[in-house]
Amino acid sequence: MFDHLSSLPPDPILGLLASYRADENPGKIDLGVGVYKDEAGHTAVLQAVKEAETRLLQSEETKAYIGPAGTPGFNTVMQELVLGAGHPALLGGRVRSAQTPGGCGALRVLAELINRAKAGATVWVSDPTWANHVPLLGNAGLHIKSYPYYDRATSSLQFDKMVETLKNVGEGDVVLFHACCHNPCGADLTREQWKVLAEMAQKQGFTPFIDMAYQGFGESLGDDAYGLRLMAESVPEMLVAASCSKNFGLYRERVGLAMVIYANGEAADKGQSQMLSAIRGNYSMPPSHGAAIVESILTDAGLKANWEAELTEMRERINSLRAGLVEGLVAVDAAGEFGFIRQQKGMFSFLGISLEQVQQLQKDYSIYMVDSSRISIAGLSSNNMEYFCRAVASVL
């Protein structure tokens, strides 16, 4: 049966990680994998997570299935984290959600739901967008188109071109937006720009689909959700995929939320039955452990305060690294203008160098980044910053 299958190339980022691990240079730097790292280059378990996990292990009395939707408690606290307690959509009984295996699981479940509502529907994604958006949505049967977003030549958002393209998108189409900390470019929409897009969605009738993988990594938990919450107040229907991988550090636990805002309660009940059917026919039901940790943290005032403090520390460190990188490149007289890196948000930015220069950094300096020159800022530290800046200056 399988003899006719051909080999596919490895995922670019996973392949890069394998090369990095095989490199024996003690000064090597990994800027490819999108995970938060501390000053020692370690992705540590948050203290709030450790405490919640300890309590969970002491109190958990069963390992029985939790059902396709996950636990009601998790869904409730995540809805409030994403939308804010008291959001009109929540008060109106128009929101339904399901716990999923990570943000990827949420994206795929929601893609399946879209395809059930309109087979082969068109989803518009930003250019560039996270590479896995295309297979996650496209493999569910959806048609993918792109809208302009980031101008690599000027290292800036091209909002006017974005708006001109989206003016042609109407009812029946879906538009995917990044809530904050855009992956891969780090250039986020302003509040005024979100208002323009919300008005367009309301007027034209397209359905917003918002991916929020980095809430709390940009400005704050509330500020990072501004555009999402505004959009949810403006349109009758909306989809949201949220992830707990970054802000809770639960990467390997795979904790996500698929959330839909419907026009009314009756439509919400019907839609939820379809989403649960899609889940049942896919992975049947999600794992419990990671989501139970999140629920414990968000329902305990002390744990929640500790978590928010740790999240703030991570965010401020990333912002400090951005500023340090710009200053470091200036200090070594690196050719070019890199001030945009300081203005962007989250873990990622395009360095703006050529493929040949990316390859030279890997070959001569054991510095690993994807071919597009997208770097994970969290892979830098005070220990390797000067080395990195001098290496970049040399290839420029």
Show which residues are catalytic.
130, 211, 246
Element spanning 100, H or E? strand 95-101
Angle at 161 between CA 156 and CA 162, to 5 degrees: 85
* Per-residue tokens: 254: 């795979």
* Per-residue tokens: 156: 């800036």
The DSSP result for 200-216, as a single string, is HHHHH-PEEEEEES-TT
For residue 381, what are the CA distances in angstroms to 38, 74, 105, 320? 8, 35, 32, 10
Give the alpha-carbon dihedral of 386, 34, 302, 292, to 10 degrees.
-160
The DSSP result for 273-316, as a single string, is HHHHHHHHTTTSS--SHHHHHHHHHHT-HHHHHHHHHHHHHHHH
> Cα–Cα distance between 241 and 270 in angstroms, integer?
19
